[in-house]
Amino acid sequence: MTTSAASVAAATPADQPQGFVVRIVGAAAFAHLLNDLIQAVLPSIYPMLKSDFALSFAQIGWIALVYQVTASLLQPWVGMFTDKHPQPYLLPAGMVVTLVGIALLAFAGSYEMLLVAAAVVGVGSATFHPEASRVARMASGGRFGTAQSTFQVGGNTGSALGPLLTAAIIIPHGQPAIAWFMLAAALAVLVLLRVTGWSVRHGQARLKRFAGQQAPGLSRGAMWRAVVVIAVLMFAKFVYIASFTNFFTFYLIEHFGLSVQHSQLYLFVFLAAVALGTFAGGPVGDRIGRKAVIWVSFLGVAPFALALPHANLAWTAVLAVAIGLVMSSAFAALVVYAQEAVPGRVGMVSGVMFGLMFGISGVGAAGLGTLADRHGIEWVYQAIAFLPLLGLATALLPATRSRARPGRCC
């Protein structure tokens, strides 16, 4: 081996592969699972909190609003700051904040303390998502949709497990049992410390290489058009999803007379379908294009959404699965589309997208809660059935394409 060849070998060690880094994307997805499992505790205990603290639907909606708006307002700023000043250790630090929020939630003795706990958990979430999404892109090897959907499916899986574990651990034993979920936060801190170590060694160099392969972003006019369309699509998607994550259990309890624990199982089935749809959406988007996936995810779900309020219990379960599978497939496509539209701003774009998700979900939850108080939960599900039709706005999305070539798996 010549001296120059030896230098190249030394500069590219075995632990710095150029393709899809399975262990890092997998670790980021597992941390996302733990993070969103913890986040899912809050909406899963709404029926218990409503009973224990004698809350109205509107007050439940305000808890959701405080949590999700706290997360949504901070995430874009976190993303913009870390684009200019990378802060890889923000990942484990943010999870420590989440741990503190869970402790506050477990021992809150008043409605005001519930709001404080929700805000602290929101801060933890805001520091996690932009940087973790950046790490997934770093390790993608150019397979951005696959990496983003794998990362996102970790979160969706955690969201699905949250209600199940809540039904098994918290509902039978009461509010103090929430403290058990601090163990999940502690495990996530350990995982994120390892992910951060890899990011410090290899991450920025990989992002710079991908930036060199990226097609130019959209013109200013096209970019603003894309922003408006994405906002409309995100509104339709996450207000509708918020109706499930925050109020589906109430709908099942009121409409079909189910118990809290039984209704949590139906919510788990829906969220499991969301996880599966999210995982499928990324690779499909890499193959057939982001816009095609977005089209299918909105217009394909419209018939199921319109039929849901008129279905019996068995068909409600079937339709909920179909809605979760189809509608969730769009998120990875929307995130990667936005990253390609504004190249070189991975943290900011990820922060804006996740911030929109949390903010729209929070405002939607508060609004839906108020409507449920005034008109009833069944009326709410009839009214929102038309939201997926806003997916027609996809026709206005300008075309964008990355020149990055997918790397081999490693």
Domain limits, the chain:
20-396
Which of 102, 127, 130, 106 minimizes the C-alpha distance to 39? 102
| Mean pLDDT confidence for 104-120 | 94
pLDDT at 409 exceeding the cut of 50: no
Is 41 within 8 Å of 105 (Cβ atoms)?
yes
- Give residue 361's pLDDT: 77
> Model confidence over 178-192: pLDDT tens digits?
999 999 999 999 999
Which of 29, 39, 77 minimizes the C-alpha distance to 352? 77
User: Model's pTM, two decimal places?
Assistant: 0.68
pLDDT at 350 exceeding the cut of 80: no
Q: Where are the alpha helices (DSSP H) in 143-259?
A: 144-165, 171-173, 182-198, 204-213, 220-256
Higher model confidence: residue 237 or residue 140? 237
- Give residue 29's pLDDT: 92
| Mean pLDDT confidence for 135-159 | 80
| Mean pLDDT confidence for 158-169 | 86
Question: 20-396: which CATH topology?
Answer: Growth Hormone; Chain: A; (1.20.1250)
pLDDT band at residue 323 using 50, 70 and 90 as cut-offs: very high
pLDDT band at residue 110 using 50, 70 and 90 as cut-offs: very high
| Mean pLDDT confidence for 43-51 | 89
- Give residue 169's pLDDT: 93
Most confident of 5-19, 27-41, 220-234: 27-41
pLDDT at 235 exceeding the cut of 70: yes
pLDDT at 175 exceeding the cut of 90: yes
Q: What is the DSSP string of 313-351?
A: HHHHHHHHHHHHHHHTTHHHHHHHHHHHHSTT-HHHHHH
Cα–Cα distance list, 153 to 22, 145, 265, 273, 363 (Å): 14, 12, 19, 10, 24
Contacts of 60 (CB under 8 A, 6+ apart): 46, 49, 50, 246, 369
